Amino acid sequence: MMSATFRGALERFRLNTFGKCFPVSDGGKVNFKKQACSQSGGKPVLIYHIMLIFNTKNTWIVFLWMLGATQCRTQSAPVIAGTIQMSSDWKPMVYLVQPRSFAEIASNYSGLVLDSASVAADGSFAFPKAPKMDGDLLVQLCIQKAGNRFPNQLLDDNPLISNYMPLVLKQGQALEIRAEAHRFQASFFIQNPSAENRALLELRDIRLRAYQAEQVFLNAENPADEHQLLEQEAALHRFQKPLMDFADSSAGFWPALVATRWVSLTGDYERIPEFIFRQCEMWRAKLPETAWAKQLCQAGNREKLPVMVGDQIPDFVLPMSSGDTLNLHALLGKRLSILDIWASWCMPCRRENREVLAPIWAKYKDQGLQILGYSIDSSPAAWKAAIAKDLATWPHASHLSGDETPFLQTLRISTIPANFILDADGKVVAKNLHGEALEAFLEAYFK
């Protein structure tokens, strides 16, 4: 039998340590019974009727009691919970996906799947515990179409129906969300979001507005003619600009990274190297030791980016159509020069020759404008025939080495048509202006 003194001490130990989860029975036995632990909100213990006889093994009694009681813990609130309005064409699951690098943000099939949760018939779901975190964590909450076996597939061709939403998880802060499956990102709502999640929602809205304004051109898979090709590029830049403005003014690192990836989901910044370089410089200064900032700067490495606005154009030796070999700087105009990169087989280039450059040349050549055409043709006959047919009477140069031309490698570009607008000293003052944009720039410059 257990003495009254020991029973009293054990009872006080039980009450002080475990509250009323584990009652002590009368007599010489203690029953560990499955309890709800309602007073503490804890989980029920998983040990059912372990019987211990109190004799001289009091030390073992306390040890085993503690072993069982450690399983009665306070139940914390879910780290992410909410409701999703589902439909039959969506799988009733929601996935927590972690991009492990800058390149994996908003990247298809790339993120690490941290967890998943079932979506109940009423649309509710919950992730009961937070993933392992060392500070704030950028994640992507996503859903998948029925039958899709890839939990980290991100549908992003059309932001209006994107199936994921970037979020920032913070230690000790739970997220309550709601969304509609068929327009998951567009409808995503966070109750009382943190500053960074509020910024991500704002960024989402900016992207949606920009996409809706330009979607006719952005969705055109096969533009009908060369004019539409140039208009599609112009539409892409108009779509990108508000996202770039957001990133440039962002106080939050994670929203800026998401915006930078949304600017180009393919990671192609050839036409906007100044933007990715600015982002690198900004966050390298603020977070010099952060791995993510270093990865950003791999994309924004100045030595690998094309010649940018503000740079001096390389003084490359060029073989001219006349048969001469001249340095580029010797060909510069007195006030302004257009270095135009083209090819005889490039229809937008040919249209630009006829409809834009020829009138510009006639209007401004006596006011100090120079145009220098550089072709990436490989056929001298095709090159010279195109010059004659387009009435492109300004100076022309080419190595006639096709896409592998050393001049393009020096400029670090691979896309045409391309142009560099140079001042009298060869400094780049503008780039890749075409059509009306180029005409407006020249009109303002020569006023």
Taking residues 8-33, what's their average pLDDT? 42
Residue 427 has pLDDT above 60, yes or no: yes
Say how far apart CA 305 and CA 222 lie, in whole Å.
Answer: 28
Residue 362 has pLDDT above 90, yes or no: yes
Residue 295 has pLDDT above 80, yes or no: yes
Phi, psi of 24 (to 5 degrees): -95, 130
At 219 the pLDDT is: 79
At 55 the pLDDT is: 44
Quickly state the pLDDT bin for 217 (edges 50, 70, 90): confident
Say how far apart CA 283 and CA 424 lie, in whole Å.
Answer: 34
Cα diameter, the chain: 116
- Residues 65, 146, single domain; the answer is no
Say how far apart CA 299 and CA 200 lie, in whole Å.
Answer: 22
Residue 61 has pLDDT above 60, yes or no: no
Burial class (CB in 10 A: 0-12, 13-18, 19+), 299: buried
- Residues 92, 181, single domain; the answer is yes
- Residues 323, 441, single domain; the answer is yes
Quickly state the pLDDT bin for 11 (edges 50, 70, 90): very low
Residue 88 lies in a domain: yes
Residue 188 has pLDDT above 90, yes or no: yes
Residue 207 lies in a domain: no
Q: Are the C-beta atoms of residues 357 and 338 closer than 8 Å to each other?
A: yes
What CATH number is given to the structural domain containing 386? 3.40.30.10
- Of 410, 432, 105, the C-alpha closest to 273 is 432
Q: Are the C-beta atoms of residues 167 and 139 closer than 8 Å to each other?
A: yes
Residue 390 has pLDDT above 50, yes or no: yes
Taking residues 366-390, what's their average pLDDT? 98
Taking residues 243-250, what's their average pLDDT? 98
Model's pTM, two decimal places? Answer: 0.81
Residue 229 has pLDDT above 50, yes or no: yes
- Residues 344, 440, single domain; the answer is yes
For every residue of 157-177, DSSP letters joined together read SSGGG--EEEEEE-TT--EEE
CB atoms within 10 A of CB 438: 20
Query: In 3-state terms, what secondary structure has residue 213?
Result: helix
At 19 the pLDDT is: 42
Residue 330 lies in a domain: yes
- What is the tally of structural domains in the chain? 4
Q: Are the C-beta atoms of residues 349 and 342 closer than 8 Å to each other?
A: yes
At 412 the pLDDT is: 97
pLDDT in tens, 117-167: 999 999 999 999 889 888 999 999 999 999 999 999 999 999 999 999 999
Residue 307 lies in a domain: no
At 76 the pLDDT is: 57
At 245 the pLDDT is: 98
Range list of β-strands (E), 362-427: 369-375, 396-397, 418-423
Say how far apart CA 435 and CA 356 lie, in whole Å.
Answer: 6
Residue 1 has pLDDT above 80, yes or no: no
Taking residues 421-428, what's their average pLDDT? 98
CB atoms within 10 A of CB 150: 12
Query: In 3-state terms, what secondary structure has residue 349?
Result: helix
Residue 393 has pLDDT above 80, yes or no: yes
At 226 the pLDDT is: 67
Residue 304 lies in a domain: no
At 231 the pLDDT is: 86
Taking residues 104-128, what's their average pLDDT? 96
- Where a domain ends, among 69, 97, 115? 69
Residue 7 has pLDDT above 60, yes or no: no
The distance from CA 292 to its chain's CA centroid, rounded to whole angstroms, is 12
Selected residue with higher pLDDT from 103 and 77: 103
On the CB side of 269, CA atoms within 13 Å amount to: 29
Residue 202 lies in a domain: no
Reported as type and span, the H/E element at residue 238 is helix 226-249
- Where a domain ends, among 137, 158, 192? 192
Q: Are the C-beta atoms of residues 128 and 86 closer than 8 Å to each other?
A: no
Separation in Å, CA 136 to CA 112, 124, 141, 175, 194: 16, 25, 15, 13, 12
Residue 312 lies in a domain: no
Residue 361 lies in a domain: yes
- Residues 98, 158, single domain; the answer is yes
- Residues 322, 410, single domain; the answer is yes
Q: How far apart are the first and last CA of the chain?
A: 108
Say how far apart CA 370 and CA 425 lie, in whole Å.
Answer: 13
Selected residue with higher pLDDT from 261 and 64: 261
Say how far apart CA 31 and CA 223 lie, in whole Å.
Answer: 78
Cis bond leading into 78, ω under 30°?
Answer: no
> 44: domain range?
4-69
At 223 the pLDDT is: 61
- Residue 218's identity, in one-letter code, is L
The distance from CA 154 to its chain's CA centroid, rounded to whole angstroms, is 12
At 21 the pLDDT is: 41
For every residue of 282-308, DSSP letters joined together read HHHHH-TT-HHHHHHHHHT-TTTSPP-
Reported as type and span, the H/E element at residue 8 is helix 4-18
Query: Tell me, what DSSP letter sits at residue 39?
Result: T
At 230 the pLDDT is: 83
Phi, psi of 180 (to 5 degrees): -110, 135
Selected residue with higher pLDDT from 295 and 31: 295
Q: Are the C-beta atoms of residues 32 and 68 closer than 8 Å to each other?
A: yes
- Average pLDDT in the chain: 86
- Residues 172, 248, single domain; the answer is no
- Residues 139, 257, single domain; the answer is no
- Residues 112, 54, single domain; the answer is no
Quickly state the pLDDT bin for 398 (edges 50, 70, 90): very high
Say how far apart CA 73 and CA 46 lie, in whole Å.
Answer: 12
Q: Are the C-beta atoms of residues 446 and 440 closer than 8 Å to each other?
A: no
